[in-house]
Amino acid sequence: MARGGGPGGFDIQGLMKQAQQMQAEMLEAQEKLKDEVVEASAGGGMVKVKMGGDLTLREIVIDPEAIDPEEAELLQEMVQAAVNEGLRAAQELASSKMGGITGGGDLGGLGGMLG
């Protein structure tokens, strides 16, 4: 039997240590994401949003010209589009930051162990 390991020379202690280190790096990256901000807009810039890397809506700016009581539905659609684009951009940012830690998402079967 291999040192510190299980059947077939499998080093469970080493694997657990790697998993703990990866989890610590992921927590640190998640904390840093809280400080990151992405911007998105819709309606040719009539509605602008800023999203945090932690997927929180930080700011929304609506051009006064977009506020027309007769066109409330259009404004709602622009807000929705801007927020959705901001979420997509924030998720992409988070994915790129976390992908470096997990080796592009391949956790080697450890995904369930880390959550």
CATH architecture of 36-103: 2-Layer Sandwich (3.30)
How many CB atoms lie under 10 A from the CB of residue 29?
A: 17
Domain ranges of the chain: 36-103
Asked if residue 73 lies in contact with residue 81, where contact means CB atoms within 8 angstroms, the answer is no
- Tell me, what's the pLDDT at 81? 97
pLDDT one digit per residue (tens) for the chain, 115 residues: 445 555 666 788 888 988 888 888 888 877 888 888 999 999 999 999 999 988 899 999 999 999 999 999 999 999 999 999 999 999 998 888 877 776 654 444 444 444 4
Query: Using CA atoms, how far apart are residues 31 and 72, in angstroms rounded to an integer?
Result: 37
Cα dihedral 21, 22, 24, 29 sign: positive
Asked if residue 93 lies in contact with residue 53, where contact means CB atoms within 8 angstroms, the answer is yes
pTM over 0.75: no
